[in-house]
Chain A
Amino acid sequence: MFLEINNVSKTFSTEEKQFTVFSDIQLTIKENQFVSILGPSGCGKSTLLSMVAGLEAATTGNITLQGKEIKEPGPDRGMVFQQPALFPWLNVRDNITFPLKGKIPQEEANKRADHFLKMVQLSRFKENYIFELSGGMQQRVAIARALAMDPKILLMDEPFGALDEQTRHIMHDELMKIWQETQKTILFVTHSIHEAIKLSDRIVVMGTRPGRVIADISVEIPRPRKRDDLKAIELENDIMRLLEGEINKVLKEELANEVEHSH
């Protein structure tokens, strides 16, 4: 298997108590697939993605990419965060060549940057600085930067969560085009059911308290997917029902805390 997540759990310990984010997550992901991890806030989906990136260590279990255990971050895994996290002191092109510095000749790096800038339709802005770009444009630069490293897998942590609705739709279409063009494996974290259905080959649904996989769904709807596709609506309702209980759990817990504090 391409990416294997083997019985992974994550526990945060403070002096007073231990908090288990999730335990025994078991997932295998095929190459070239677009897989979404969908779940309510607090289910640990972002933490799981950070582990694949190598930014956080698993408490137990391990993660392997093409048989090699992941121990630290590396350029074989490109990550796009909810905040673009670009470098404001560099122009757009230099942001994209940042991870290539010292690895390949400058000229080749620039050529590669131009290639991916064209892919995300920002060729005209390569000399611009980050503050001159809109949120959607910044996120496109972040995607180009991750792709320019030529990673084996692209990790995306709610990359369009901070964008407005219309921009998000445009970004969905562009991401689909990029995915089809580059054939990258994409692991995409989101809390939007609609987004997951629109984009993914496969949706891993996570529940909360404790975090765990509650469903693993193959999406067989032909692309491009429309919002009013009957199958899509049906699937959306199914997942909604699955998650309803989970969301209520979180709400109840928060309310209980509230009551506890007001006494």
Chain B
Amino acid sequence: MKWNIVIKRVLFLLVILAIWQIIFSMEVFPAVTFPSPVKVFTALYEGFASGDFVFALLASFKHLFSGMSLAILFGTIIGVILGKSKQADETAGMYLIALQSIPSIVWVPLAIMLFGFTEFSVVFVIVLGGTFVMAMNVRSAIRNVPPQMVRAARTMGTKGFALFYRVEVPASIPYFMSGLRLAWAFSWRALMAGELLSNGPGLGYTLSYAQDYARMDQVIGIIIIIGVIGALVDHFVFSKMEKTVMKRWGLL
């Protein structure tokens, strides 16, 4: 990244922090609901130093990993079926769009009633949050395989299942990558929604715990952690993978 971009971003952050500090110093809001930047960063430091946040983060990543793996698996299966079979798509395609538009927090009461306040409920919400968006993208991935590649493969005597796994699967990887990136984004949101109402452990649970004890410094600190992790994973994992693939596939 160019240095002038880094400088711009850091300066912007400093300005925000300065405004925050000024509002705090003017004592517009009570200190309980409006902690100073220093207080928030102290809470962050203490949270990590005591290991509480680290423990919560590990638990969250465990939920995310299980939920996302299943979402990717189910999403891929559904997506391939809808992408390959016109019958299946005409029958179920519309419902997929409906399901995908349901915010993941809506599944939380359902999960709690079915599975109680367990970690399984959290994983269940993540699976529902990630599966449909993954399925939608895999469906377009299969649909958008360039027809000339399929024609070329056929003239080389490739057909049937070989045509599917030697040509259609690799040709659909770019859209599949976009699907992964969106599945991550949706799963990350679903994870927090699920954990907020769970009995822990997890970052979302720690957040609702901090709320119960009126620790606004911790609440803001955890929100910052959630945002930073979301951005870092997107930037360093999924965007990077997507760009590498797009370049190789000649789409960039």
Contact = CB atoms under 8 A, between A and B. Distances in A.
Interface of A: 53-55, 72-75, 77-79, 81, 83, 85-89, 98-99, 101, 129-131, 142, 145, 149, 155
Contacts of B156: 73, 75, 78, 98-99, 145, 149
Interface in B200-250: 247-250
A145 to B, nearest CB: 8
B84 interface: no
A145 B155 CA distance: 11
A221 to B, nearest CB: 31
Contacts of A85: 146, 148-149, 151-152
A81 B151 contact: yes
B154 A89 contact: no
A75 B157 contact: yes
Interface in B147-192: 148-149, 151-159, 166-167, 170-171, 173
Contacts of B166: 98, 101
A77 B155 contact: yes
Given A75-B157, A87-B170, A55 B248 contact: no
Contacts of B167: 87
Given A85-B148, A85-B149, A73 B157 contact: yes
A83 B157 contact: no
A88 B250 contact: yes
16 contacts: A55-B154, A55-B155, A73-B154, A73-B155, A73-B156, A75-B157, A77-B155, A78-B155, A79-B152, A85-B151, A89-B249, A98-B156, A99-B158, A131-B249, A145-B156, A155-B155
Contacts of A55: 151, 154-155
CB-CB nearest 4 A-B residue pairs: A99-B156, A85-B152, A79-B155, A131-B250
Contacts of B146: 85
Interface residues of B, number: 21
A79 B154 CA distance: 10
Contacts of B151: 55, 81, 85
Name B's interface SS: helix
A74 B155 CA distance: 6
Given A87-B149, A89-B248, A129-B248, 19 more contacts: A53-B155, A55-B154, A73-B157, A73-B159, A77-B155, A78-B156, A81-B148, A81-B151, A83-B148, A86-B152, A87-B170, A89-B170, A89-B173, A101-B166, A131-B248, A131-B249, A145-B156, A149-B156, A155-B155
A55 B167 CA distance: 17
B225 to A, nearest CB: 37
Nearest to B151: A55
A130 B250 contact: yes
A149 B156 CA distance: 8
A159 to B, nearest CB: 12
A109 B234 CA distance: 41
B185 to A, nearest CB: 25
Contacts of A99: 156-158
B157 A88 contact: no
B183 to A, nearest CB: 21
A85 B248 CA distance: 14
Contacts of B152: 79, 81, 85-86, 142
Contacts of A88: 248-250
Interface string B32-46: 000000000000000
A159 B64 CA distance: 50
A130 B149 CA distance: 13
Nearest to A129: B248
Contact of A131 (B149, B153, B171, B247): B247
Nearest to A79: B155
A155 B158 CA distance: 17
Interface in B129-146: 146
Contacts of B149: 85, 87
Contacts of A129: 248
B136 to A, nearest CB: 23
* Of listed B155, B170, B247, residue having the most chain A CB within 10 A: B155
A208 to B, nearest CB: 24
